[in-house]
Amino acid sequence: MTAPPNEDKPRIASAGTTDSSTAPAADRSKTTSATTFIWSFVVSLLPSKSEWLNKGGEGRLKFVVLVVTIFGGIVSGIVWLVGPAFSVAEVPSPSEILIVDQHPTRVIIDRVEVSRLSDASEEYVVAWLKNVSDVTAINVEAEFMSAGGDALTVGENISNAWRLGRLSIPPGEELLVPIAPLSEYLRLAQNIYPHARLFEFSPPESLGGFTLRDRVCGLADSFGCDFASRSIPTAVTLEYGTVFGGTVEISTFFSGIFLLSEPSE
């Protein structure tokens, strides 16, 4: 039985490299011929000893000028061809480094809450991102991951509406970012603690100096009040660009505070 002929399979060269085995033989032959021609041309310019002695002072000077001119042209051509591959990145000046260092771009999660979005048929868990720096944050992106490792996503219409206005956050301003439908957020949380009731998010919008017991039971009834609660974190990855051309990526989290039992005396 004869073996099947080998199938031609495409070869993929790594980025930034050349796979010499894929180069056509004709191209390699042309390169070799060109190199041989240049070398032969240079050698042909060299005079014999008797020709050199017969040139005289002016003839020798013209010959040297000609050789230097040709050599300079060859070097310039080589630099033009291979120069970009060996180019060195521009090093910022000390003053530029100082400006970037004195004006860091910082975006934080200011608060998380439940909100009714105009294009949504149900309530959504949303985060308010705040730019607490004195320069604009651009191309802001946010990803959310539940405690169980599930990516929190929003509907396509909500995502598209948000992306239209998420390009930048000016200094001191905020941006609303939809996280997930409230029903989906609660479903994932109750997979961990069935029948748990969402009480608040941390960091909440305003807590003051009150403890969780004060907020659950009320200041007047907090003494002797008993309840059970759990905190379920949501991982957050924030990525945004700076006006200086850099990129910042931050890993943080917020927590949902759930009551496992209602407060009782």
Least confident segment among 50-54, 84-88, 152-156: 84-88
Burial of 110: CB neighbours in 10 Å, binned 0-12, 13-18, 19+:
middle
Residue 234 pLDDT exceeds 50: yes
Task: Say which range, 85-89, 110-114, 124-128, has the weakest mean pLDDT.
Answer: 85-89
pTM summary value: 0.61
- Give dist(CA 265, CA 262) in Å, integer: 10
Let me know how long the chain is. 265
Q: What whole-number distance in Å separates Cα of residue 39 and Cα of residue 41? A: 5
The pLDDT value given to residue 187: 92
- Rounded to the nearest angstrom, the gap between the alpha carbon of residue 72 and the centroid of all alpha carbons in its chain is 43
Q: What's the confidence (pLDDT) of residue 113? A: 94
Mean pLDDT of the chain: 75
pLDDT, tens digit (0-9, with 9 covering 90-100), for 194-221: 989 999 998 644 455 567 877 888 765 6
Residue with tokens 């796979």: 19
Average pLDDT score over residue span 207-236? 76
CATH class of segment(s) 105-264: mainly beta
For residues 231 and 239, is the Cβ–Cβ distance under 8 A? Answer: no
d(CA 247, CA 90): 18
The residue among 97 and 163 whose pLDDT is bigger is 97
Contact 157, 122 (CB under 8 A): no
- What percent of the chain is modeled with pLDDT above 90? 32
Check whether 127 has a pLDDT greater than 80: yes
Task: Return the SS3 of 91.
Answer: coil
Q: Are 201 and 112 in contact (CB under 8 A)?
A: yes
Tens-digit pLDDT profile for residues 7-66: 443 333 333 344 444 444 544 554 455 556 556 666 666 666 666 666 666 666 666 666
pLDDT at 155: 75
Peptide bond into 203 cis (omega under 30): yes
Dump the DSSP string for 146-206.
Answer: -TTSPBP---HHHHHHHHTT-SEE-TT-EEEEEEEEHHHHHHHHHTTSTT-EEEEEES-S-
- Is pLDDT above 80 for 116? yes
Maximum average pLDDT range among 120-124, 150-154, 177-181: 177-181
Average pLDDT, integer, range 88-92: 68
Whether the CB-CB separation of 199 and 192 falls below 8 Å is answered with no
User: Average pLDDT of 77-106?
Assistant: 73
What is the C-alpha separation between 231 and 208, in angstroms, rounded?
A: 19
Q: Which two tokens stand for residue 49?
A: 């000893």
CA 24, CA 30: separation in Å to the nearest integer? 10
